[in-house]
Amino acid sequence: MKIIKHFVLFLLLLLAVFTSLWFTPVPLAWQEKFVVHYYQFYFYPTPQWEAQHSFLEVLWVKSINLKLGYHWRDKTFGKLQATSPSEYPFAASVTYLKNHFITQQELPIDVVQTPTYASVVRGFGTCDQINGGLGLLLSSFCQQSELIELKNNEYGSHSLVRTQSPLGVVYADAFNSDNYYGFKEKLTLKGSQIIPLFAEKKILFNSKEYKEARVLTSYAFFSYLSNKLVKRNLNTLFLSYFSIINHQNQQRHYSENPTAMKLYLLARIAHLNEEQQTAKSRYQELLKLEAGLLKDCAINFLGKMK
């Protein structure tokens, strides 16, 4: 009976959040207050963070994070479209993610599994996290955008984005320098005129491995909403209700002081909103603190902003 009440409350809260907030612009100051208040959400592995908060608070934070992610997507796409010579700004989108994200190729970063937009705000992570952000961004102008995983016995696995648009099937990768490309037989006539071909790229994976790729996440709105917000939170409710989650064995990922972590997130929000001077000022202020890896990230981003 208790779990049914939680489920009904979940549906009512979900409906209220989306009807009242989804189409409402999010002021920059409000975004800043949100990330500062829930700063651990951006740095701790999701299972660990969830274990320390109630189901309703988890639902609230994830709902707002999803809303902020789509707000970022639409706002960023609008700016890219205004400055890109193409109505399908694959190149501009890849460049944007490269300039606003740090990969394991740049700094020795440990894996932290967090939701897509939380990873974008944090600004550093693995191939699935930077390309997860790319997949969300590309979903603004592609009918289909998916994060897929390629596997190779020699090179291991790698995640990148597969899209479907009037150009055909186009792959995009902000983690490596390959950027975007397509297979000749999968591109439309228009796509073959503007999209580089797979055969022209030096890529470690072969065409067969692309055909056997596994879909990790689809960024189609209702599919993404269902998977990221509804299914996963219902799973969290079920596990916590039956005490299946082991709260004792969760490990803290970061030990940086809260002041540094909050200042870093404020710099990131300014950076993602193209408030360049504010972002630079906050990154520079962070250099004066004991901030561990976050100081290295600040130095890296200051270099990218030059």
Q: What are 45-67's pLDDT values in tens digits?
A: 999 899 999 998 998 999 899 99
Contact in structure between 140 and 73 (CB atoms under 8 Å): yes
6 or 111, greater pLDDT: 111
Q: Write the pLDDT tens digit of every residue in 136-167.
A: 999 999 999 999 999 988 888 999 999 999 99
Q: Is the pLDDT of residue 75 over 70?
A: yes
- Mean pLDDT value of segment 39-43: 94
For the range 17-23, what are the long-range contacts, defined as Cβ-Cβ under 8 Å and sequence gap of 24 or more? 17/60, 17/63, 17/64, 17/67, 18/63, 21/63, 21/64, 21/67, 22/67
Q: Where in the chain are the domains?
A: 28-242
86 or 281, greater pLDDT: 281
Tokens for 41? 């959400």
Q: Write the pLDDT tens digit of every residue in 83-133.
A: 888 888 999 999 999 999 999 889 888 778 899 999 999 999 999 999 999
Contact in structure between 97 and 137 (CB atoms under 8 Å): yes
Q: Write the pLDDT tens digit of every residue in 169-224.
A: 999 999 987 789 999 999 999 999 999 999 888 888 988 999 999 999 999 765 55
Q: What is the pTM of this model?
A: 0.84
Residue range 28-242 forms a domain whose CATH class is alpha beta
What is the pLDDT, as a whole number, of residue 255? 45
Neighbouring C-beta atoms of residue 228, cutoff 10 Å: 20
